[in-house]
Structures are given as structure tokens and as C-alpha cells.
Structure 1
Amino acid sequence: MNTRLAPAQTPIATQAKRRFASFRAIAALMLREMTTTYGKSPGGYAWAVLEPVAGVAILTYAFSFLFAKPPLGTSFELFYATGTLPFFMFTTISNRVSTAILFSKPLLAYPAVTFVDALIARFAVNLFTELFVFYLVMVGILALYDTRAVVDVPHVAMSLALTALFALGVGVLNSYLFLRWHIWHVAWAIISRPLFIISGAFFMYDALPAALREWLWYNPLIHVVGLMRSGFYPTYDDHYVMVSYVVGVSLGMILTGLFLLSGSIKTLLYEA
């Protein structure tokens, strides 16, 4: 009796099958993230928009009593939006990516789902959400107020890309640290609180003393905010912004986090 053996899969076919399985896993995780995070909460996506709007409104209301005009331009709303929106985008994405593996822990028991899939899915959902929020808030400000802004789309896009990349770097590295040392979750919450003050959201970098500027320059968010403001204020001098520095720091954290996770993910998930 003749029997036919199934042909062995080629490495290319195996890789293509794995990529397709990974794509399906990421898509499923993204749907789960959207349903869990926004689908079951009152107002859903409305809260994602209301939070940054409230932040800009509070800062505008408070500082309008202290100053006759904003530190840059003619609109308090635009000035604070160009500082707070990148910061809110960074904190939201980095915090969500930091807990992506813990959030998807039950699903990681399936061979088709990897920790990288969980990281990518949560990053993608929150990135799209934050970009949508940024667009809505900025269009609203430009339409309702006499900002006299001249939008430089490449600068704005670069600032958003750097914000997302830096948030991913912090999130990936923290996802390992959260699993490795549970106390780091609390420690990071304390350490990250001053970031809003030192990231240039409500002050001008050039207006600071030289000694303080030297220290704050190493904060990647200073560069992100500076690049964002240069995208709305043509006269703004962003000479201190170094894109390569932000990219280098972000990629360094991403690679370090992935390396640490790949070598210990099974042990960390068992102990978590």
C-alpha cells in the first residue's frame, strides 16, 4: 500500500505562518483592549478626550490670572496644549504598555500569543487613541481661538513620533521591572510625578537659569515639547532640541527591555 508523506514545511512557509498568527493575536488583543478599557466604562472614549481638555482648561484658567499674556504667542490655550498634550500622550502610552504583560497574562499561556504581541497591541490601541485626542483638541483650539498659529506639520508629526517612541521605550523597560520587582510599580509612580513639572509643559526652556537648563536637557520630554511648540510657533527657537538623543534613549530602553524579557519571561510570569 502506497502512503504519501506530507511535505515538510519550508522555513519561509513557517515564518509566514508565524507572522500571520502573530498578526491575528495582535488584532485580537487590540479588540480586547478596546472593549475592556473603553467599552465598559461610562462615556467610553469620551473620557480619553475630556482628560486632556480639562488639563488645558485648568492651566489656562489658573495662569490667565497671573500673566497678561502667555509666555509664547497670544493664546494661553494653544501654549499649554502644545506642552500638556505630548505629556499626557507619553504618560498614557507608557503606563499602559508597562502593564501590558500583566494585563494579558492569562492569554500568554497560549503558544500563539507572545509577550511581544501583548506589548504591540496595547501600544497600538493607545497610540491611535492619543493621536485622535490630539487631533480633536488641536482642531478645536485652532477653530475657537485666535491663536495666529502657523502649523508646521512635519515638526508636529516628528514630535508625536518621538513622544510615542519614548513612551514605548519606558513602557517596555517598565514591563520587565514591574514583573521583576513589584515594588517598582509604586516607586515609578512616585518618581514620575515630578515629570510634569520638569518637562516644559507650562514654562519656556530658554527662560530657565543656565545651570537648570543643563540638567533638564537630559529629559527627553523637554525635546519633544520644544519640537511641538516649534510646529505651531514659527518664531520659536528650538536650537536645543536633539532628535537623535531622544531616538537613541528610546531605542536603548526598548532593546534592553526586550532582551531582559526574552530571557526571563516564563519565570517572571510564573512568579507574578
Structure 2
Amino acid sequence: MAHQMKSAIEIQLDVLGALMLRDIRTRFGGTMWGYGIAVAWPCAHILIIMTAYKITHRPTPIGDSIVLFAVSGLSPYIIMNYMSRKMMEGPLQNRQLIYFPQVKFFDVVMSRAIVEICTSALSIFMVFFISTCVGAEIIPIDPFMFCVSMLFSLAFAMGLGFTNVFISQIFPQWQMVFIVPGLIMYFTSGTVIPIEAMPAVVYDYVQWNPLMQIVKVCRSGFYPGYGADAEILYVLIVTGTLALVGLLGMRFVVPRFLN
């Protein structure tokens, strides 16, 4: 029994490894340059924000470094945006693989999730590396809170990704529809426009945005005293609910559509 169990686990790991390699080769052209572009692409967000503030001659909303402001806000968004979308695209792009006996639907989802975790980690590292190269000081004052915010970002992105996978298998057009809530979360997260600058009526509503709470936690690692009112428990509840809905949907509802 132990030998059979070990063999089953080894087979499962081999399947995940093969799916991850196939995913990287098909999506990034099978070259280091292709994957490198995908990793470095999120840096464009920082350049856009910096350019917008320079052109409009607007002062830095928090502190005196626009690079630090952009990095501290965009790091959680980069993880949430790319991971939640790419997890959804995985099963839609690789549906034919599910017909192989060794490959399960959940294998395809998790292989894409693991690839996105690695890509997100490299992207954040690249953002810090490039920022340091241009002379910006973006070392967290509280590294622990920054790491916590990154874990929250990964957990929230994965929970949202599971739900996106579930919905997109029933309603394939969700892949395009999700752009709208994604943009809403982006513009109400304080990434570009600090929430403190928003009208009181708007501020009351953006409190329901989990990404905004995560951005608060992330910035608390860079700005002393910032983000003390972040609702961490709320983020955990939303993350757990999204993951539960997505996993239950993939377990009990999605197989009917696949068959």
C-alpha cells in the first residue's frame, strides 16, 4: 500500500512538472528571452505611473519618492492581476490535455498556479532590482510586514483564481468580463490614487476592496505608521470564501460541463 501510495504521488508530481514545462514552453516561446519578457513586463506599470506623475507635475502622494510609492502599491496588484487571470486561462487553453487519463482538471489548474507563483516572485524581484539600479531606495523598513503582504497577495490571487476558473468553465466569456472588476479593484486599491485623497463617500465603499487592504499592509512595511487600520481578518475571510467557492465549484459543478 505504501509503495502504491508513493508511486501515485510520484506520478502526480511528474504530471505537474510536465504540465508546468509545457506551459512555459508554449506561452513564452520555449526561450529564456520569452520568459524574461513576461517577468519584466510588470515593470511597465511602474514606468507608466512615474511618467504620469512627471508629466502632470503632481507631487508624490506619500513620502518623497514616486518609485517607492508605485512599488509599494503595485507589488500586490501585480500578483493579484496576473495570477488570477492566468489561472483562469490555463484550463481554457489546455482543455485537450484533460482527456489524458493521467491528467486531471485540477492538475492543469495547479500547474498554472505554480508557474504564476514563480513568475510573480521573479517579477517582484525584477521590480526591486530595476528600481535599485536607477538609484531608488525601496528597502522595506519593516520587511516582515512586506512579506506578510506578499503572502496575502498570493493567497487572495489564488482564491480569486480558483473562482475565476470555476466561473469561466461555465461562462467562457467571463475571461473578458473579468476585466471590469479587475480594473475596479485596481483604481480603488490606492495603487495609483491614494485612498486618503478620495472623497469620504467613495472611501466608505473602497473599504470593501480586499486589494486595498493588502496595499495598506504592503505600504506599512515602507511608511512608518501607515496602514494601522488595515482589515486583515476581512482579507482572510474573503480569500477563504473565494477559494472555497472555486474549489467546490471545480469539484462538483465543472465535471458536468466537461463531460
Q: TM-score, normalised by structure 2?
A: 0.90
Pair 1:141-2:141 in alignment: no
Amino acid at match of 1:182: P
Amino acid at match of 1:167: A
Q: Which residue of 1 aligns with 2:239?
A: 250
Cα distance change, pair 193–42 in 1 and its aligned pair in 2 (3 A) = farther
Cα distance change, pair 148–48 in 1 and its aligned pair in 2 (3 A) = closer
State which of 226, 230, 242 in structure 2 corresponds to 1:237. Answer: 226
Q: Which residue of 2 aligns with 1:81?
A: 71
Could you list the runs of 5+ residues in structure 2 that have no partner in the other structure? none
Asked if 1 retains the 8 angstrom alpha-carbon contact of 2:73 and 2:191, the reply is yes
Q: Which residue of 2 aligns with 1:210?
A: 200
Cα distance change, pair 49–20 in 1 and its aligned pair in 2 (3 A) = closer
> What is the distance in 2 between the residues matched to 1:264 and 1:68?
50
Alpha-carbon deviations, 1:112-137, whole Å to 9, x = none?
22222111111111111111111121
Asked if 1 retains the 8 angstrom alpha-carbon contact of 2:76 and 2:150, the reply is yes
Aligned residues: 259
Q: Which residue of 1 aligns with 2:50?
A: 60
Shift, 1:97, TM fit: 0.7
Amino acid at match of 1:164: L
Pair 1:38-2:28 in alignment: yes
Pair 1:97-2:77 in alignment: no
Asked if 2 retains the 8 angstrom alpha-carbon contact of 1:73 and 1:147, the reply is no
Cα distance change, pair 159–182 in 1 and its aligned pair in 2 (3 A) = same
Q: Which residue of 2 aligns with 1:260?
A: 249
Could you list the runs of 5+ residues in structure 1 that have no partner in the other structure? 1-9
Amino acid at match of 2:234: Y
SS of match in other structure, 2:13: helix
Cα distance change, pair 180–61 in 1 and its aligned pair in 2 (3 A) = same
Cα distance change, pair 93–146 in 1 and its aligned pair in 2 (3 A) = closer
Shift, 1:168, TM fit: 0.9
> What is the distance in 2 between the residues matched to 1:32 and 1:208?
45
Amino acid at match of 1:157: C
Asked if 2 retains the 8 angstrom alpha-carbon contact of 1:64 and 1:76, the reply is no
State which of 62, 66, 88 in structure 2 corresponds to 1:72. Answer: 62
Shift, 1:30, TM fit: 0.8
> What is the distance in 1 between the residues matched to 2:172 and 2:125?
36
> What is the distance in 2 between the residues matched to 1:15 and 1:171?
29
Q: Which residue of 2 aligns with 1:223?
A: 213
Shift, 1:32, TM fit: 0.9
Greater mean alpha carbon deviation, residues 199-208 or residues 164-173: 199-208
Pair 1:119-2:145 in alignment: no
User: Larger radius of gyration, structure 1 or 2?
Assistant: 1
Cα distance change, pair 41–236 in 1 and its aligned pair in 2 (3 A) = farther
State which of 147, 169, 189 in structure 2 corresponds to 1:199. Answer: 189
Shift, 1:15, TM fit: 3.8
Cα distance change, pair 34–42 in 1 and its aligned pair in 2 (3 A) = closer
Q: Identity of paired residues, percent?
A: 24
Cα distance change, pair 76–163 in 1 and its aligned pair in 2 (3 A) = same
> What is the distance in 1 between the residues matched to 2:190 and 2:252?
37
Cα distance change, pair 49–31 in 1 and its aligned pair in 2 (3 A) = closer
Pair 1:162-2:152 in alignment: yes
Alpha-carbon deviations, 1:119-175, whole Å to 9, x = none?
111111111111111112113323432437543221111111111111111111111
